[in-house]
């Protein structure tokens, strides 16, 4: 008879999903970094773009190549101040003139990478070969790739940038300085940055005069203590005076021996692993800061959208009120109406019915002139209305540009919408408004009838003039077409007020469209970067 235990009866727990390989995590991180556009000129944009560039270089030039080819030699960069003797040190370690050395500064303009012939192919495809000349020499220790870097403080900006890139690629940075240059601020700041990003460090005090050797060495060591770098390997190479070619082997033996041990299999892998592992905390922090920068971009985008829309509201409200109160009729339309509607004028018959046979005869004779006068009056009224609406739209644009001028991102958006583009879009909108309004006017007046012989076209023109705000025309519509005519006038005026407000508010459209075309990062960009940062934590 079989027996069972609680453990047998308990259902097995589902297996944990397999961990994503580190190289895939870092590849996804690089893709997210490179897709972060940071297009808006937010207050933190310059810093964010520099951070994105630096971190992208670190990931693409060091972390990914190292993860993809773990057996590649450890990359050791000799970098430091101008005239520190980096090229001579490389030549001395290899015991051959592999890198140009001389008195002209800067000597090293193009980085030189020296590697053992049997290790050379392990660096094939590595980004470092895109900026450094590869030289193979059997004097190089296996497992090492030595790089003679340009000066960190070079007078040439391109050289300084190259030096920074090479430090980012390094598994170890050998900081080379001299008794006269070790106090320079720039290399120390760069040293601190490298340590913060987990790059392994060694320090070489080169060309030190024997008379001041103890003083300089003690002072430099005190500086290292202040920076919390007392555990950093530290080498002193005394000045040997004028010399051509490599230094005597005895002078560089401690440094060469250290590097030889570093290149040995287990030690090399340990340094590489320490550098890669040490990069995670600073990398995660940089990624999280970039996510915060992307949040800033998103908030700024929403703020600009809101500011642009809000800037048109007052002008749109004024345009609506102007149409409702008939302010467009003040001036030329009212003057034209009074001239035509006065006694004996071509429009006088619209003011009151004719009395006596003489007025009736004049009424019949003036029918042709009345139609022309109504046509002209309509054109005058619509022209004045268009001027009012154009001014309201221009006022809205000015309000938008004024609010955008308050921030760098706003000015960036304003520059993306030239005034000519706004003028063209405004003309098209108003053309459409008047075409639509004319069509609706025809629909609202088609069934109206006049108590006196007035054609449908004439009655329609009179209703439109009344809707624009000419009081005399409105009274004539009431007299001739009754309450139906008055209702049509009121409805057309309401339509016109709505469309006028919409046309003014649409001044924001050109700016929101330009914002959409500025390649703004999507709303989930920050979330994706934070996910990448959380994935890095699993490998810490």
pLDDT one-digit tens code per residue, 349-402: 888 766 655 555 555 555 678 888 999 999 999 999 999 999 999 999 999 999
Angle CA(512)–CA(513)–CA(516) in degrees, nearest 5?
90
pLDDT class for 7, splitting at 50, 70, 90? Answer: very low
For residue 522, the 8-state DSSP code is P
pLDDT class for 538, splitting at 50, 70, 90? Answer: low
Q: How long is the chain?
A: 540
Is pLDDT of 16 > 60? no
Q: Is 71 exposed, middle or buried (0-12, 13-18, 19+ CB in 10 A)?
A: exposed
Domain boundary among 239, 263, 287: 263
Please tell me whether residues 148 and 232 are part of one structural domain. yes
Q: Which of 169-178, 256-265, 295-304, 432-441 has the lowest mean pLDDT?
A: 256-265
CA 63 to chain centre: 26
The answer as to whether 341 is a domain residue is: yes
Instruction: Count Cβ atoms below 10 Å from residue 481 Cβ, excluding itself.
Output: 22
Query: Measured between alpha carbons, how far is 533 from 538 in angstroms, rounded to an integer?
Result: 9
Please tell me whether residues 305 and 228 are part of one structural domain. no
The DSSP secondary structure of 327-372, one letter per residue, reads GGGTTHHHHHHHHHHSTTSTTGGGTS---HHHHHHHHHHTHHHHHH
CATH number of the domain to which 251 belongs: 3.40.50.300
Query: Measured between alpha carbons, how far is 201 from 171 in angstroms, rounded to an integer?
Result: 9
pLDDT one-digit tens code per residue, 317-361: 999 999 999 988 999 999 999 988 887 778 888 887 666 555 555
Tell me, what's the pLDDT at 166? 83
The answer as to whether 431 is a domain residue is: yes
Entry pTM:
0.74
Picking from 195, 206, 202, the residue whose alpha carbon sits closest to that of residue 175 is 202
Please tell me whether residues 243 and 353 are part of one structural domain. no
Contact 137, 98 (CB under 8 A): yes
Phi, psi of 311, rounded to the nearest 5 degrees: -65, -20
Tell me the pairing of strands 74-80 and 172-178.
parallel
Helix (H) or strand (E) holding 396: helix 367-404
What is the rounded average pLDDT of the residues 286-306?
A: 96
Please tell me whether residues 378 and 497 are part of one structural domain. yes
The answer as to whether 35 is a domain residue is: no
Query: Measured between alpha carbons, how far is 527 from 525 in angstroms, rounded to an integer?
Result: 5
**SS3 sequence of 101-115:** CCCCCCCCCCCEEEE
Please tell me whether residues 335 and 246 are part of one structural domain. no
Please tell me whether residues 233 and 313 are part of one structural domain. no
Tell me, what's the pLDDT at 65? 86
Please tell me whether residues 253 and 310 are part of one structural domain. no
Q: Kindly state the tokens that stand for 361.
A: 């005869």
Domain boundary among 241, 263, 285: 263
Picking from 150, 180, 183, the residue whose alpha carbon sits closest to that of residue 167 is 150
pLDDT class for 18, splitting at 50, 70, 90? Answer: very low
Lookup result for tokens 């994935």: 535
Q: Kindly state the tokens that stand for 33.
A: 């970094």
Query: Measured between alpha carbons, how far is 348 from 363 in angstroms, rounded to an integer?
Result: 9
Please tell me whether residues 251 and 332 are part of one structural domain. no
| Max Cα–Cα distance, the chain, nearest Å | 134
Picking from 203, 193, 199, the residue whose alpha carbon sits closest to that of residue 225 is 203
Domain that holds residue 159: 73-263
The rounded mean pLDDT for the chain is 84
Please tell me whether residues 327 and 198 are part of one structural domain. no
The answer as to whether 398 is a domain residue is: yes
| 384 prior amide bond cis, ω within 30 | no
Please tell me whether residues 239 and 328 are part of one structural domain. no
> Which bin fits 469, alpha (ψ -120 to 50), beta or left (φ > 0)?
left
The DSSP secondary structure of 158-227, one letter per residue, reads HHHHHHHHHHHH-SEEEEEEETTTTT-HHHHHHHHHHHHTT-EEEEEEEEE-GGGHHHHHHHHHHHHHHT
Lookup result for tokens 């098209």: 428
pLDDT one-digit tens code per residue, 83-133: 888 888 999 999 899 888 744 444 446 789 999 999 999 999 889 898 899
* Helix residue ranges per DSSP H, 246-352: 249-263, 265-325, 332-341
Lookup result for tokens 């649409």: 506
Please tell me whether residues 243 and 388 are part of one structural domain. no
The answer as to whether 18 is a domain residue is: no
Query: Measured between alpha carbons, how far is 324 from 316 in angstroms, rounded to an integer?
Result: 12
Please tell me whether residues 521 and 441 are part of one structural domain. yes
Q: Kindly state the tokens that stand for 236.
A: 């002193």
Number of domains into which the chain is organized: 2
Q: Which of 4-18, 36-50, 91-105, 226-240 has the lowest mean pLDDT?
A: 4-18
Letter string b/e over residues 117-133, b meaning 16 or more CB atoms within 10 A of that residue's CB:
eebbebbeebbbeebbe
Lookup result for tokens 């409805």: 491
Angle CA(116)–CA(117)–CA(123) in degrees, nearest 5?
80
Tell me, what's the pLDDT at 267? 60
Query: Measured between alpha carbons, how far is 353 from 452 in angstroms, rounded to an integer?
Result: 8
What is the rounded average pLDDT of the residues 197-215?
A: 82
The answer as to whether 307 is a domain residue is: yes
The answer as to whether 540 is a domain residue is: no
Lookup result for tokens 């300084």: 160
The answer as to whether 174 is a domain residue is: yes
Lookup result for tokens 């700016």: 511
> Which bin fits 178, alpha (ψ -120 to 50), beta or left (φ > 0)?
beta
- Using only C-alpha atoms, the chain has a radius of gyration, in whole angstroms, of 41
Q: Distance from first CA to last CA of the chain, Å, rounded?
A: 52
């Amino acid at each position: 008879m079989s027996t069972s235990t609680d453990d047998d009866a308990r259902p097995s727990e589902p297996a944990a999903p397999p961990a994503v390989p580190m190289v895939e995590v870092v590849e996804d991180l690089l893709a997210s970094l490179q897709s972060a556009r940071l297009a808006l000129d937010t207050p933190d944009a310059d810093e964010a773009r520099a951070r994105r560039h630096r971190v992208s270089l670190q990931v693409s030039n060091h972390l990914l190549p190292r993860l993809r080819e773990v057996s590649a030699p450890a990359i050791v960069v000799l970098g430091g101040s101008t005239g520190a003797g980096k090229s001579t040190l490389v030549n001395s370690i290899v015991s051959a003139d592999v890198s140009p050395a001389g008195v002209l500064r800067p000597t090293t303009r193009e980085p030189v990478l020296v590697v053992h012939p049997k290790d050379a192919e392990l660096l094939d495809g590595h980004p470092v070969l895109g900026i450094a000349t590869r030289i193979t020499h059997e004097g190089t220790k296996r497992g090492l790739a030595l790089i003679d870097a340009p000066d960190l403080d070079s007078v040439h900006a391109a050289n300084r940038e190259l030096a920074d890139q090479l430090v980012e690629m390094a598994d170890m940075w050998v900081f080379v300085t001299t008794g006269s240059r070790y106090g320079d601020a720039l290399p120390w700041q760069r040293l601190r940055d490298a340590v913060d990003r987990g790059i392994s460090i060694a320090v070489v005090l080169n060309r030190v005069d024997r008379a001041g050797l103890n003083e300089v060495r003690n002072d430099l060591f005190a500086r290292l203590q202040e920076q919390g770098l007392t555990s950093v390997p530290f080498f002193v190479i005394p000045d040997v005076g004028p010399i051509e070619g490599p230094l005597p082997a005895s002078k560089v033996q401690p440094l060469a021996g250290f590097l030889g041990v570093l290149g040995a299999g287990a030690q090399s892998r340990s340094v590489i692993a320490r550098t890669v592992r040490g990069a995670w905390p600073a990398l995660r922090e940089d990624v999280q800061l970039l996510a915060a920068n992307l949040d800033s971009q998103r908030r700024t985008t929403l703020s600009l959208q809101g500011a642009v829309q809000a800037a048109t509201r007052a002008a749109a409200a004024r345009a609506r009120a102007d149409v409702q109160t008939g302010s467009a009729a003040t001036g030329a339309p009212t003057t034209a109406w009074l001239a035509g509607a006065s006694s004996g004028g071509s429009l006088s018959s619209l003011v009151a019915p004719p009395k006596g046979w003489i007025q009736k005869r004049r009424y019949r004779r003036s029918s042709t002139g009345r139609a022309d006068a109504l046509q002209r009056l309509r054109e005058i009224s619509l022209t004045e209305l268009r001027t009012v609406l154009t001014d309201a739209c221009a006022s809205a644009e000015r309000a938008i540009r004024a609010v955008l001028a308050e921030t760098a991102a706003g000015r960036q958006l304003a520059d993306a919408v030239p005034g000519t583009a706004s003028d063209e879009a405004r003309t098209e909108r108003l053309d459409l408004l008047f075409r639509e309004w004319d069509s609706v006017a025809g629909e609202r007046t088609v069934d109206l009838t006049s108590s006196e012989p007035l054609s449908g076209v004439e009655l329609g023109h009179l209703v439109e003039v009344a809707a624009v705000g000419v009081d005399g025309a409105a009274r004539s519509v009431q007299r001739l077409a009754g309450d139906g005519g008055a209702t049509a006038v009121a409805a057309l005026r309401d339509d016109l007020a709505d469309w006028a407000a919409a046309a003014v508010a649409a001044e924001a459209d050109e700016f929101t469209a330009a914002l959409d075309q500025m390649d703004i990062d999507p709303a989930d960009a920050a979330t994706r970067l934070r996910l990448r940062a959380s994935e890095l934590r699993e490998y810490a």
